[in-house]
Structures are given as C-alpha cells and as structure tokens.
Structure 1
Amino acid sequence: MMNRILLGVITVIGFFTLAEALTCNSCKVGILGKCLYSSQVACASSEINCYTASAVFNVTGFLSLSSSGCTSNCNNTVGTILGAGYSITKTCCITDLCNGASAVQLSTTAAFSTALLASIWSSYML
C-alpha cells in the first residue's frame, strides 16, 4: 500500500515537472533578421527563458547576426571578434514560443558565408 502511494506521488511530480518545461523557437543563426533554419525546442530545467538575440558589428552598423532559443542568461554584451567591435542585445520572455522565429531559404554561398561567421560568433553568444 505504501509503495503504491509513493509511486503515485512520484508519478504526479514527474507529470508536473514535464508540464513545466518551457518550449521555445530556436534558430542557431540568422542573418539580416532571417533565420536559416528554425525549429522548436524543449528547454532544460535550468533554462527558464526563451530569447532572441541580435549581434550588430560596430564597423558596418547594418550587418547583423541573430539567434534564438532557450537560455538562463539574459544579459546584453559587448566585445570584439578579430578586432571588430560588436554588441549583442538579448530579449527574453517566459512563456511557450514567445520568441517568434521565421525561416527563409538562402543560396548555398550565402548559407556557407553565414555558417563561417556563425562558427566564430557562436562562442560569444552564450
């Protein structure tokens, strides 16, 4: 009898834990406001926010990279990559799919160039 009650309590707690997982739109890299490939992801329990981030390079002022997904860090940052200054602005929210995302098809050259920039940039986003 006691084992059944304990098993029932653990099951109910498990359902509430699963129900509380946040779902966010995810975009690993976007360029000029358009996501290369978007999806929806379930956040880890430590990631309590959905975010949308945009990095603008100070030299050009118009070239921007973006990403979105789950995070526990909503701080904006500034820094440099290969001597070029940039600023990252993050917008966070706390409800399912609150960080809208859109996908667009790009040419292979544009996708390759973006992937190259993203590989440098991704280590600075998180």
Structure 2
Amino acid sequence: MAKILFGIVAVIACFYLADSLRCNRCTVSLFGVCLNPIDMTCSTNTSVCYTSRATFSNVSSFSGFSRQGCTESSVCPANTTITNSSTIGPSFFPLSYAIISQCCSTDKCNPVSITAAAPANAMSLSVALSAAALAAFWGSHM
C-alpha cells in the first residue's frame, strides 16, 4: 500500500513540476551584474517571466538597474515590451529615466545578462545619488 501511495504522490509531483514555469530571479542588478541570481519556480498564479530595467538617458555609460522574476500576465502580457518614461529631480538638474519591462512565457526565457561595468570616473556623485534615490523609489513600488 505504501508503494502505491508513494507512486501516486510521485506522479502528482511530476505533473506539478512539469506545469510550473521556471524563471531567472534577480532582485537587484547594478552595472549589468546581478547581485543575487536565483533559478526559481513560479507559483501557479504567475504565468510569465519578466526582466525590468531602469536606464538613464542622461548617463549613457551607466547600464542601469534591473530586476527579474515571475509575474502575472495581467501585469505584463507574454511576448510584450512595456516602456514607462519620466523625469525626476530639480529643474536645474533633471534626470530622465525609462523603465523597460520585457515579458515571456517559456522556461528561463529571461536570461541573466551581464554587461560591461561603467568606468568608476564616468559617474559623478550627483548622478550616483540620483540613481540610488530612483532605485529606492522603484524598489518600493514593484
């Protein structure tokens, strides 16, 4: 009897694992390098993988921040790219940024990409502080 029960549980587990979407997860990436890459299995109510990247048009040498993971298709439909742009900061030093989200629906379709880091002297202190403020703002709204 125990063998039959174990077999049933094993078959159910195989179906569960076969139906679950697998995505790359990265809660914070800086200079194109994911600081905590994780291979994750999405929950049953999430059906797409996403990669969201915040870039700054004022700072071309800075590759921005990015996040990856699982989300619902109502938030970001599969095979789409969503762009939200805005400007923050005082009028004498505006900082234009864009958040670009790409979504897909196959296993690990959101690859962790590592780009070349920006040179240390390419970012001024004010740009670094503005970028940190945006990252804090973005992190509290995702």
Q: TM-score, normalised by structure 1?
A: 0.65
Q: Mean Cα displacement is larger for which, 15-24 or 67-76?
A: 15-24
User: In the TM superposition, what whole-angstrom CA distance separates every residue of 1:43-67 from its partner, at most 9, and x where no partner exists?
Assistant: 1222211111211123323321111
Runs of 4+ displaced beyond 6 Å: 11-14, 113-116
Long gaps (5+) in structure 1: 1-7, 104-112
Residues 81 and 46 from structure 1, CA distance in 2 versus in 1: closer, same or farther, beyond 3 angstroms?
A: farther
Once residues 16 and 22 of structure 2 are traced to their aligned partners in structure 1, the CA distance between those partners, rounded to angstroms, is 13
Long gaps (5+) in structure 2: 1-7, 77-81, 115-128
Aligned pair count reads 111
Q: TM-score, normalised by structure 2?
A: 0.59
User: In the TM superposition, what whole-angstrom CA distance separates every residue of 1:3-34 from its partner, at most 9, and x where no partner exists?
Assistant: xxxxx8xx977764543111101111112221
1:14-25 pair list within 5 angstroms: 16-25=15-24
Amino acid at match of 1:123: S
**In the TM superposition, what is the alpha-carbon distance from 1:81 to its structure 2 partner?**
4.8
Indicate the RMSD between aligned Cα atoms, in angstroms: 3.3
State the identity as a percent: 37
1:27-106 pair list within 5 angstroms: 27-63=26-62, 64-72=64-72, 73-74=75-76, 75-82=82-89, 84-101=95-112
Once residues 60 and 115 of structure 1 are traced to their aligned partners in structure 2, the CA distance between those partners, rounded to angstroms, is 14
Once residues 44 and 82 of structure 1 are traced to their aligned partners in structure 2, the CA distance between those partners, rounded to angstroms, is 38
Amino acid at match of 1:101: V
SS in 2 for 1:95: coil
SS in 1 for 2:139: helix
